Amino acid sequence: MEMHGASAVITGGAGGFGGATARRLARLGAKVVIADVMEERGRALVEELGNGSVFVRCDIFDEATIAEAVAAAQGLGPLRAAVVVHGSPPSPVPGGRLIGRDGRRLPVANFEHMIRAYLTGAFAVTSHAAEAMARTEPVKDGQRGVIINTASIAGFEGAPGLVPYSAAKGGVIAMTLTLARDLAPLGIRAMAIAPGTFLTHGYAHMTAEEAQAKYGPTIPNPQRMGDPEEYAMLAQQIVENDFLNGTVIRLDGAQRFGAKPF
């Protein structure tokens, strides 16, 4: 997909994955909508890009703001890429194992929260972006755009305490091929990336050295946490390679939850 003169929207664009991907798409000539609730970080990224990209405050639980982010991208140029890497606001009730040490079950509210954030949110962004892409003029081979959702290796095999998150990310995995088939007549591709353990803003409560020391040994090779730039490298390849479609790509250094580290 040719991105020069086009636009892209990234939900979670102010985060580690989103920021690294925005920089790469900008270097390809795209203007990017950084859609996030982290306004200070998002505006700083837009200023860094300096190419006419914009920040739009987007709450993944508010569909109207998703529509606003997509509309903003359309105002910058034909929408050719949507990357869904948003996180989740705090759950109203704590998570944990299905039955905790106190003998109590995990509340349904926690499960519903995670599904809404990571699965319903992904569908909402996908549907709004696809509708916008369908209205653009196609480029070569009848292509109109590409949508990249973010799954997780937890969607394949989750660690203890991740039932709601695993279910949500498993849903992203399950819908990827069907999305690609639904959107094929329109020349829109659908892909997903399933990252393992990456050093993102989610580990801001500890130093990078502490995080690497704790989590790096759980990854067979390379024996370190992933770098968001490695996610962005793959996202760029998906955008540029029109024959990548309907597939979930694991990006995890051969990590498997539950397996003993090498």
* Residues belonging to the active site: 165
Which structure tokens are listed for 150?
């973010």
Q: Where are the beta strands (DSSP E) in 196-262?
A: 248-251
CB 119 within 8 A of CB 172: yes
Strand-pair category, 7-11 with 79-84: parallel
As a whole number of angstroms, the distance between CA 195 and CA 83 comes to 14
Per the DSSP assignment, residues forming a β-bridge with 104 are none
CA gap 232, 7 in Å, rounded? 17
Tokens of 246: 């309907």
Residue 8: both structure tokens together: 């892209």
According to DSSP, the residues that pair with 99 across neighbouring strands are 105
Measured CA to CA, the distance from residue 195 to residue 46 in angstroms comes to 25
Q: Please spell the DSSP secondary structure of 149-173, one letter per residue.
A: EE--GGGTSPPTT-HHHHHHHHHHH
